[in-house]
Amino acid sequence: MNFLTLLKLGWRNIWRSKLRSLVVIFSIIIGVWGGLLILGIMYGLNNQRMDIAINGYIGNVQIHNENFLDDYAIKHVINNIDKYENFLSKDSRVKAYSKRIVLSGMLSNSNGSSGIQVLGVNPSSEKNVTKIYSKLIEGEYFKSKKNNTILVGKKIADKLNLKLKSKVVITFQDEKNNLVSLLFRVEGIFRSGNSMFDESNVYVKNQSIRDNLVNFIGFHEMPIVIYENIETDSSLDLTDALKKDLKKIDNTNIIQSWDDIAVELAYANKMISAFLYFFMLIVISGLSFGIINTMLMAVLERKRELGMLMCIGMTRLKIFLMISIETLFLALIALPFGLIFSYFMINYFSVNGIDLSIVAAGLENFGIGTMLYLKLPLNYYYEIGLMIIVITIISSVFPSIRALKINPIEASKNI
Amino acid sequence: MIVTEKLSRIYKQGDFIIKAVDNISLKIQKAEFTAVVGPSGSGKTTLLNCIGGLDTPSLGKVIIDDENISNFKRDQIIKYRLNNIGFVFQSYNLIPVLSAKENVEMIMLLQGYNKKFRSERSEDLLNQVGLYEMKNRRPSQLSGGQQQRVAVARALASKPKFILADEPTANLDSISTNKLLDIMYKLNQDEKITFIFSTHDQRVIDRAKRVISLEDGKIFNDQKI
């Protein structure tokens, strides 16, 4: 008896009890579809969180003075910044870079005050590095000819009851540790998608700081964006390579990639893959019980027939294979449907998104916007498909062993 | 030739010891048309199971053409059954998802014969049992008598040394019984195939050329007609 005959027999056997087989097939389809959809949501969430962080405010790589990270003092500016600029402007991996003055200070108005980080930027070069200009929900992105305008986050705006054109005072220490207070007028209110960022960061033109600190020269932060939006594996390699090259320029500065800066984000990104497979493993394991149960029922129902096959001389291996093939067929029929449905659904929502504005506050606390875009790389489909096949093969062992335990004498009711 | 030498099959059921077959010695020559008869529990099925290598004797041995099959290992006996013994079951036990022809071919598939041989032989056998026209029908599309005739064709397909049939007519009406017996008798006469039946059916007993009567696991009458 060749393998083809076992396949033929297995195929016909699963359609003996159409309803029972269809129930299992549908449960696998729904399990695969539901599981992959959840994976698409989780992967999409993580992806968006990374996108908001990297393209929103961090960039792929940042340069700081090595002392700046321990002491956010104004004096710790990047050394030899010209050399970096020279290198970055010629490097083909680099999409854009910007230079920022970063100050720790206090934002105050008549309603109260709040500790903030002031990002002094060049509006035009910052536009190439971060997407904050596209996150404005009120006002405009440094369109005013005046230098003392400020962009504030929605969260801090709510906290201090700030409106467009509201006046605020930023207080910080200068190079000589004297307190300096500067007056700004709100030009825009942004909502980055990360409420923590919105609560603790404001953007001003760096010229406004220089105008008031005449002796201050230099920048504290250089965010760099490379030619990949999201940290795919290849852009991770690029980031590391760029980091390595930048380190050679001046060792008094520190070069950090986004995963050094946003450690929790990097950790979540590393964990997500393992978590997604683990989640799917649980879903498939649940399904496998249904498969085992159905096949056990099928074996017990066909006890007499299996007994007859044993009587006439079918070997244990062939009986084992026959039952395993039947089990595998159930999964193989369901799998393409489950994968295709999931693929189209995830693709649809990756373009159109799911509006979750009803839970916007919670999502923004988590660092995600209100529109959720599903995403799942193709390798997940292959690997999860393979995982299902492997688990089905494992599941088929139990009913197959049960079939082998059939006593041909009892099963065939006498010879 | 089939020989049983002091064959016993003893079962233990709780504290009781049941001798289903008790010290039976017999010889069945090639081309015999033998019926093993007896009341329920007399041991006829156990005897046939032992002869067919489905059950292992507790004592004694079964020798078929000078080979003691009682000592065979599991894989050995499976192979032996496949190539030497044909089985006909009371409830036909055809595979419902296969056609009549495919059911007959099944055993030849297990034996490893090629497609052409299988196809020709299965059609020939179905022709012999008068079911050539119905070769593509599935068991559910055949009557009980027709299914049993397919089962006979299947049993013959492996070119066995003998055929063991357990109450083959128990589920058949008289017309089907007679037709089946005619076919088996003809095969016995023309092709010298050995048939051993276990039966209660007087119609089968009437057609048998040898009747072995069992009671309490022992032969109390062995009559050649």
Mind listing the pLDDT tens digit for each residue in A290-331? 889 888 988 888 888 888 888 888 888 888 998 999 989 999
- Contact B164/A313, CB-based, under 8 Å? no
Model confidence band, residue B213 (pLDDT cutoffs 50, 70, 90): very high
Complex ipTM tops 0.85: no
Rounded to two decimals, what is the model's pTM? Answer: 0.73
Interface test with A, best of B21, B84, B95, B104 (most A CBs within 10 A): B95
Instruction: Give dist(CA A58, CA A132) in Å, integer.
Output: 11
Question: Is A313's CB within 8 Å of B97's CB?
Answer: no
Return the pLDDT at A101: 93
Number of H helices, E strands in chain A: 15, 13
Residue A17 in contact with partner chain B when CB distance is under 8 A: no
Please state, in angstroms and rounded to a whole number, the distance separating the CA atoms of residues A313 and B218.
29
- pLDDT exceeds cutoff 70 at A230: no
Give the closest of B110, B158, B166 to A415, CB-based.
Answer: B166
Q: In the structure encoding, which two tokens stand for residue B22, read together? A: 């008790």
A312 inside 8 A of chain B by CB: yes
Residues of A in contact with B54 (CB under 8 A): 311, 408-409, 415
CB neighbour list of residue B21: distance below 8 Å, 6 or more residues apart: B7, B8, B9, B43, B46, B47, B50, B57, B217
> Would you say how long chain A is, in residues?
415
Cβ proximity of A406 and A306 under 8 Å = yes
B76 to chain A, any CB pair closer than 8 A? The answer is no
Q: Is A149 helix (H, G, I), strand (E, B) or coil?
A: strand
d(CA A378, CA B207): 71
Which chain A residues are within 8 Å of B45, Cβ to Cβ? Answer: 414-415
Which residues in A lie closer than 8 A to residue B38 (C-beta atoms)?
none
Q: Give the side-chain half-sphere CA count within 13 A for B166.
A: 25
| A244 touches B at CB < 8 Å | no
- Tell me the residues of chain B between 135 and 154 that have a Cβ less than 8 Å away from chain A: 154
Average pLDDT over residues B7-34: 89
Tokens encoding A45: 């969430």
Q: Report pLDDT digits (tens) over A5-43.
A: 788 888 888 888 888 889 989 999 999 999 999 999 999
Using a CB–CB cutoff of 8 Å, tell me whether B14 touches chain A: no
- Average pLDDT for A340-367: 83
Rounded Cα distance, A380 and A279, in Å: 12
At A107-140, the pLDDT tens digits run 999 889 999 999 999 999 998 888 888 889 999 9
SS3 call for B6 = strand
Shortest alpha-carbon distance between residue B112 and chain A (Å): 6
